[in-house]
Structure 1
């Protein structure tokens, strides 16, 4: 694993016109995954879903982020909280799936918690050492941005700011999109493989000849601005194709005639178009398995029910095409011959390089904190492990 971390630093430092991908073990090593789970994933801000999944007080949904079961719930005060889905008595989960509750009641011993996480009732708890005020459910850090709910498992995680990304998305008015579909799937691939796949236009015409090529051909992909913690590219539409909805009134012609794809590192990828917003939240399980929660939202009433149903079917097909390719690739990445290969140019795989550079920067922070003898690009005179 040390060799992989050194290789990441070396490849991230290559000249921008000579980018290289990482070796297969970067995606298949369980030791590498455990390192990421303890560092970049645990420290990161993860998209759990959309705010309008839980529009009313008591509405909730559950997710599993690494080893932490979570409840996202809207409280009586209208605020969204992310609570630990773990009873403070004996550790039983309090909720599953989604729904609406007045309180969370443990199915084991009937301890009851308010929608703010406070313990309301614990029958027959008369021991002198019992203090209900000390038995609140843990509340995780939350940020709301562009209609999305983000949470971090790290109590010390600094709030994130992506003004360039916000500016890129602002004309679409993402907070005005309404949820029309939610689905969850298991993919047998590494979490980084899906981030990289979603965020490059190089594969569009090859992997999606019937579903995407007609609207977003590889040849029209163009890199968009990136920054610390995000990357983006435009999947531009050819001229002469039918409009796909008007969207927000302030959109430019360029914005209306493309899908703006972005990644909020480490685990959210999304496609923002004039009338359609699709987001994939990636929940890593192991080196070779992820849970994928994907949501579809539309701009107001721009699209009728028939068009929405067709868009859902289209994205089901697109996701299936990507999943099948990535699951096949995950098997091959375990080969000793899965060595670094050259990446394509800026417009086609520049986003993959952005992700690589960000991962290397995150790992340098970890090295600085725990291994002060390491240099920013690895140990002195370290060989390039290719």
Structure 2
């Protein structure tokens, strides 16, 4: 079996087809969406190096609150050990590596279910029973801590021991995303759906304006004039755009109060942005959605869509019923996309698959696919 490095070497001629100018370029070869070896290399080159949003600070309001999370099978704990601090660390007992926490909740300590090593909620070792005779110094030990930064209410972590400074990573978004003020929003809920396709197909689909008027014509596709979009391309695969649409509801009628920072904007304001590798930000006049794309396997991906609204939205009449309609609308959009991206996945593993040419409407995909090539082929 070929290694991932050998596969990437063999794919370099095909990558050149993607690296041509947009109007003559072709999409990425199917192997990068179907190869287990390349999937494993993506973990090392992308997900273990980039800053990743794993949740909202408001999900941990109280001391002792925690949740567990997995990034490409790497298990972590995110917790609030003190009122003014949130931490993240590997969910691995220092003895044999067993996960010490599960799910989410509130705790004062975690006890390893295997040998009862005890940790405080910040991941620090408190007690190691049966180890008094050991000559290993276990004082001041903790499970491996991850770098962590909170940006506009979002908890970002990084698995690397020496990551790019977060401020440098996020700088393009700080300068350009005037509309992304989710630290002034409140979380209404999440939509979580697993889709049988490679993570890149979903990340690309969320910025593929080309398909909107086709697949989504019965939901929101008729409101979006894709040919009018102008993408602003940022370093490291990031991008953003603004365009005219309608409020995010099946009828196109705005239900929730307008975001405070959009009150002077047209009711049809729509903004989107991408932060590489797996975030897609979307705003309409009354709400913001944060799409997280998490790889589960080479051919399976989890979508976690956070639904955020201004504080005033939570006191409107019939709030619960209106929010359920909103959630159903988002779920329907994902369902419409799922059929197509699962078909893409089937073709990606076919020996007869030939990547097609790019449309001018796929400028942001072109930008992101070429960033992927740069990341994967850089030594």
Q: Same fold (TM over 0.5)?
A: yes
Q: Determine which of 353, 356, 365 is the counterpart of 1:341.
A: 356
**Structure 1 vs Structure 2 CA RMSD:** 2.4
Aligned twin of 1:308: 323
1:85-100 equivalences in 2 (<5 Å): 85-100=91-106
Aligned twin of 2:271: 260
Aligned twin of 2:336: 321
Aligned twin of 2:175: 167
Aligned twin of 1:291: 302
Aligned twin of 2:4: none
Please state whether the residue corresponding to 1:337 is helix, strand or coil.
coil
Matched, 1:17 2:23: yes
Aligned twin of 2:346: 331
Quote the Cα distance in structure 1 between the aligned partners of 2:304 and 2:137. 38
Quote the Cα distance in structure 2 between the aligned partners of 1:113 and 1:51. 22
Quote the Cα distance in structure 2 between the aligned partners of 1:291 and 1:354. 23
Unaligned runs of 5+ in 1: 367-386
Q: Determine which of 176, 190, 210 is the counterpart of 1:182.
A: 190
Conserved? CA contact 1:59–1:99, under 8 Å: yes
Deviation at 1:156, TM superposition (A): 1.5
Deviation at 1:91, TM superposition (A): 1.7
Question: Any idea what the Cα deviations from partners look like across 1:127-179, whole Å, max 9, x if unmatched?
Answer: 23243325311111112222211112211221243333223333342211111
Question: Any idea what the Cα deviations from partners look like across 1:202-253, whole Å, max 9, x if unmatched?
Answer: 1112111222224335455442443334122335215996345410246552
Q: Determine which of 77, 81, 85 is the counterpart of 1:79.
A: 85
- Structure 2 CA distance for partners of 1:5 and 1:114, relative to 1, 3 Å: farther
- Structure 2 CA distance for partners of 1:167 and 1:283, relative to 1, 3 Å: same
Unaligned runs of 5+ in 2: 1-6
Please state whether the residue corresponding to 1:358 is helix, strand or coil.
helix
Deviation at 1:317, TM superposition (A): 1.1
Aligned twin of 1:373: none
Aligned twin of 1:376: none
Conserved? CA contact 1:46–1:281, under 8 Å: no
Matched, 1:354 2:360: no
Deviation at 1:48, TM superposition (A): 0.8
Conserved? CA contact 2:64–2:106, under 8 Å: yes
Aligned twin of 1:212: 220
- Structure 2 CA distance for partners of 1:163 and 1:257, relative to 1, 3 Å: farther
Q: How many residues align?
A: 363
Question: Any idea what the Cα deviations from partners look like across 1:35-71, whole Å, max 9, x if unmatched?
Answer: 2122122212222122212122211111111231011
- TM-score (norm: length of structure 2): 0.87
Quote the Cα distance in structure 2 between the aligned partners of 1:251 and 1:168. 19
- TM-score (norm: length of structure 1): 0.86
Please state whether the residue corresponding to 2:82 is helix, strand or coil.
coil
